[in-house]
Amino acid sequence: MSGPAPGSALVEARGVVKRFGGLTAVHRLDLTLWEGEILGLIGPNGAGKTTLFNLLSGQFAPDSGKILLEGREIHHLPSHRICRLGLARTFQVPRPFLAMTAFESVLVGAQFGRRVPGTSASDTAERCVALTRLEPRRNAPVHSLNLAERKRLDLARALATRPRVLLVDEVAAGLNPTEVRETVGILREVHASGVGIIYVEHVMEAVMDISHRVHVLDHGATIAIGTPGEVTRDPAVIEAYLGRSAGP
């Protein structure tokens, strides 16, 4: 799949550093998500992908460096402000509001997220429930939802905040092939509606299938950036995933 013509940057990380005690989880990282793009973010376990998501969405503040959303510095803002500016996320392990129904959970995002004049929160929530195929479970208590449904609910809640940028953290992990295809289909629809996506995933077929570009991390630093085809042939990427070859 060919990438879109580079327009303006939706998200930019510049020289971002995050340390936990003696461990540097993210080291002087530069990353760009362009308008209209799906950017795959891959790397071995511990590469710093989820830490980067926590930095972008304001759960952590970086030790140094800058993060910009549509040209505006956001790295000093709390999560709820970043969400209202148009950056939403899902969680690797879904974090549902167990005491609510599916619809109420999505309504939280719609009521507290980015304000868009002329749209009502409940309409937005209905639309996101429909988009994520949760209509049959609309009024079900969240604790009765299975893993696949909880992942879609996390996605629906994030979408209900009407993001310009969506961070998706391993939405396909633990799902069967049918569910993975369905989820990828949902992400395509989200992208078609004009949302930029950064997609962290270990399920390679999913991330390679829909990403325009792939950004590869290892030990908190960039080791490759390119189209899915380019990065899978990149020796540094192969080494990070499989180890150095024994031959000369």
Partner 1 sequence: MSSFARRQLLLGLGAIAGLALIAPLLLANPYSSRLAQLLFLNILLASAWNLVGGFAGQISFGNASLFGVGAYATSMLWLAGFHPFLTMPAAAVLAALYGVAWGWPCLRLRGPYFAIATIGVAEATRIVANHIEAAGGASGLTLPLEQDLGPVLLYALGAVLAVAAVLVSAAVRRSRLGLGLIALREDAQAAAASGVNVARQQVTVFAITAALTGLAGSYYAVFTLYIVPEKVFGFDLSISLVLMVLVGGIGTVMGPVLGAGIYLFLEQFVLASLADIHLAAFGALLIFIILLEPRGAAPRLAQFVRLIRRRVG
The site map against partner 1 for 152-191 (x = CB under 8 A) is -----xx-xx------------------------------
Number of residues that make up the chain:
248
Of 26-34, 92-100, 130-138, 196-204: span binding partner 1 (CB under 8 A): 92-100
Scan residues 2-41 and list those touching partner 1 (CB under 8 A).
Answer: none
Nearer to partner 1, 105 or 213 (CB): 105
Nearer to partner 1, 39 or 166 (CB): 166
CA distances from 152 to 34, 60, 128, 136, 215 (A): 25, 25, 10, 13, 24
Please provide residue 41's backbone torsions phi and psi, each rounded to the nearest 5 degrees. -125, 110
Q: How many residues bind partner 1 (CB under 8 A)?
A: 30
Closest CA to 41 of 237, 222, 200: 200
Minimum distance, C-beta of residue 91 to partner 1, in the bound complex (Å): 7
Please provide residue 184's backbone torsions phi and psi, each rounded to the nearest 5 degrees. -60, -40
Task: List the structure tokens of 17.
Answer: 């550093």
Q: Is 112 in the site for partner 1 (CB under 8 A)?
A: yes
Task: List the structure tokens of 113.
Answer: 């997220």
Nearer to partner 1, 108 or 221 (CB): 108
Of 20, 64, 72, 98, the one binding partner 1 by CB under 8 A = 98
Nearer to partner 1, 124 or 237 (CB): 124
How do beta strands 87-89 and 165-169 pair?
Answer: parallel
Q: Is 147 in the site for partner 1 (CB under 8 A)?
A: no
Closest CA to 41 of 51, 148, 86: 51
